[in-house]
Amino acid sequence: MRDVRTYNRWLVVAGALIVQVSLGAVYIWSVFQTPLLGIFPGWSEAQVTLPAQIVIATFALAVIFGGQVQDRLGPRGVGTIGGVVLGTGLILAGMTGNFSEEVALYWLVGTYAVLGGIGIGMAYVCPIATCVKWFPDRRGLITGLAVAGFGAGAFFFAPLARALITGGSYQLFGIGLFPLPQAGVFGTFTVLGCIFLVAVVLGAQLLRNPPAGYCPPGWTPPAPAAGAVHAEFSPREMLRTPVFWVLWVTYLAGSTAGLMIIMKAAPIWQSFSLATVAEIPVHHEHFVAVSSAAAMAVAVLAIFNAAGRILWGRVSDTFGRERTLMLMFILCGLLLLGLDSMRTYPLYLLGVSMIALCFGGYLALYPAMAADYFGTRNIGVNYGLLFTAYGAGGLLGPHLAASLMHDAGGIEYQVRDATDTLATQLFQLGEYHTAFLVGGVICLAAAALTLAVRMPHAPLADPARCGGMRPTMIQHVGQGSETA
């Protein structure tokens, strides 16, 4: 084994990207929604949304546990376990079709959402916590890179899932790349589970912590201001600071608004598109084209989601976290307020992609701010606690989209089953205007709340180490400077 002191830190980034691309497939749930409703017509909009809500909430809670364990034991083993649990959950989800309509929902929640969410959470925190320790000189950029794969995962896996469910070619930007057999909804869960298990386990092998006191060659930590100290907050100390709760509330707002769109992107476009169809029932080929466009929207917004993590992370290194955060909230809020009028495909793609760009920025800035404000010694569990805001947003965002949706009536469409026989199913059109309005207002309120973000005072020192003195204000590292 190579000595950790000579280990190439960019291998950690490579491992992080491999892991995160697989975990990011959590964002493709909307591709499964319409096929599941076709198989289980008794499910309501709220019921078919439930696995998407539970997987995000479970994921966020598992980050706390995973962060605490990896802070003590290291990232490689924890990431490996996460990959195994995630893959197992999706493989078991492939058995959902063996159950009755009522039992199937509980089985899908227990396997895809709970087991899958636990696996995602355990594996997700490892690349982030590891990368911020290896890159104190580029914290904003590197946290963006570390989570960029998570945003980009849907770009690759949404078209794959769509093609496996219905059969046909794997398409990117409308170009058929290679044919795939029809695996159906449940077979697609199984295939994805196998892929994720292998990829996450392999990527985790590249993760390892730097030696204590690591400093990148050629980089000198900025000198603190006169009288300033660098402080490491324990989780309990962090929870006592007002700034943690301001960050938590704004993170909740951004996650709620972003996940409202990301987890519903496919059915939103299907509703926009099918509302104007004249021929009923919608012909099979036309419905496949609409579904392909919806899956492509999920894939495209995934690219912007990933790009936002890198772009806004880099911007925040230069212009400061707080100002960058405010800009993202304002942009996201305005886009949500105008999204209902973007009913042509190019405009819809533009709207949801820019919202995803901002959402990706939240996932890059908040871990960087957690490291800036509360130190890196306990970054795994500290960011895990802050990340519960994302989990709460995962429950709230899709729920708002479903509960605030107005039923615009059903429309029949044709679909081919495994025997190539045409069957008629019902698609429930939805109007999401109220949900968009609520999301926009939440983002604009969060933009105003970022004005209250202030660097916290250092916690009370241990008298055995520091003579019982209370340190002065920590140096502000969010405005273009970083701590070691």
3-state helix, strand, coil in the chain (%, to 5): 70, 5, 25
CA angle 56, 57, 63 (to 5 degrees): 90
Listing DSSP states for 362-428 in one string gives: HHHHHHHHHHHHH-STTHHHHHHHHHHHHHHHHHHHHHHHHHSPEEEEEEEEEEE-TTS-EEEEEEE
Q: Check whether residue 299 and residue 417 sit in a common domain.
A: yes
Q: Check whether residue 306 and residue 432 sit in a common domain.
A: yes
Q: Check whether residue 311 and residue 357 sit in a common domain.
A: yes
Tell me if 462 is assigned to some domain.
Answer: no
* Cis, bond preceding 41 (omega within 30 deg of 0): no
Tell me if 53 is assigned to some domain.
Answer: yes
Tell me if 224 is assigned to some domain.
Answer: no
Q: Check whether residue 169 and residue 260 sit in a common domain.
A: no
What's the burial of 226, exposed, middle or buried (CB within 10 Å: 0-12/13-18/19+)?
exposed
* Cβ-based neighbours of 15, under 8 Å, separated by 6 or more: 127, 203, 204, 205, 206, 207
Indicate which CATH number applies to the domain containing 26. 1.20.1250.20
The pLDDT score that the predictor gives to residue 230 is 56
> Residue 171 forms beta bridges with which residues?
176
- CA 420 to CA 178: how far, in whole Å? 20
Q: How would you classify the pairing of strands 175-180 and 168-172?
A: antiparallel
Query: Is the entire prediction scored with pTM above 0.85?
Result: no
Give, in order, the Cα–Cα distances in Å from 42 to each of 36, 184, 318, 420, 449.
10, 19, 52, 24, 42
> Closest Cα to residue 123, out of 182, 170, 163, 70?
70
The pLDDT score that the predictor gives to residue 282 is 80
For the record, the structure tokens of 414 come out as 């044709």
The pLDDT score that the predictor gives to residue 462 is 45
Q: Check whether residue 310 and residue 203 sit in a common domain.
A: no
Q: Check whether residue 200 and residue 263 sit in a common domain.
A: no
Are 2 and 210 in contact, with CB atoms under 8 Å apart? Answer: no
The pLDDT score that the predictor gives to residue 222 is 63
Tell me if 226 is assigned to some domain.
Answer: no
* Cβ-based neighbours of 306, under 8 Å, separated by 6 or more: 24, 148, 149, 150, 151, 152, 155, 360
Q: Check whether residue 170 and residue 311 sit in a common domain.
A: no
Per-residue pLDDT of the chain (484 residues; tens, 9 = 90+): 444 456 788 899 899 989 998 888 777 888 898 889 889 988 887 888 899 889 988 988 898 888 788 878 889 999 999 999 999 999 999 999 999 988 999 999 999 999 999 999 999 888 888 888 888 777 767 777 777 777 778 788 888 998 898 888 887 776 778 888 888 999 999 999 999 999 999 999 999 888 877 888 777 766 654 434 457 888 899 999 999 999 999 999 999 999 889 888 888 988 888 887 767 888 878 887 888 888 888 888 888 988 888 888 888 888 888 899 999 999 999 999 999 999 999 999 999 999 999 998 998 899 888 888 888 788 778 888 998 998 888 888 888 887 887 777 778 877 776 666 777 777 777 888 999 999 999 999 999 999 888 778 777 554 433 333 333 333 333 333 332 2
CA angle 193, 390, 400 (to 5 degrees): 95
Q: Check whether residue 188 and residue 298 sit in a common domain.
A: no
Q: Which helix (H) or strand (E) holds 169?
A: strand 168-172
Total number of domains constituting the chain: 2
What would you report as the CA-atom Rg of the chain, rounded to the nearest whole angstrom? 23
Q: Check whether residue 301 and residue 414 sit in a common domain.
A: yes
Q: Which domain holds residue 185?
A: 8-210
Tell me if 222 is assigned to some domain.
Answer: no
Alpha helices per DSSP H over 74-169: 75-93, 101-108, 116-134, 139-166
Tell me if 24 is assigned to some domain.
Answer: yes
* Cβ-based neighbours of 419, under 8 Å, separated by 6 or more: none
Three-state SS at 227: coil
Q: Check whether residue 187 and residue 294 sit in a common domain.
A: no
- CA 83 to CA 122: how far, in whole Å? 8
> Closest Cα to residue 239, out of 60, 381, 394, 71?
381
Q: Check whether residue 352 and residue 412 sit in a common domain.
A: yes
For the record, the structure tokens of 229 come out as 């100290």
Tell me if 112 is assigned to some domain.
Answer: yes
The pLDDT score that the predictor gives to residue 464 is 36
Q: Check whether residue 189 and residue 274 sit in a common domain.
A: no
> Residue 170 forms beta bridges with which residues?
178
* Cβ-based neighbours of 95, under 8 Å, separated by 6 or more: 107, 111, 186
Tell me if 40 is assigned to some domain.
Answer: yes
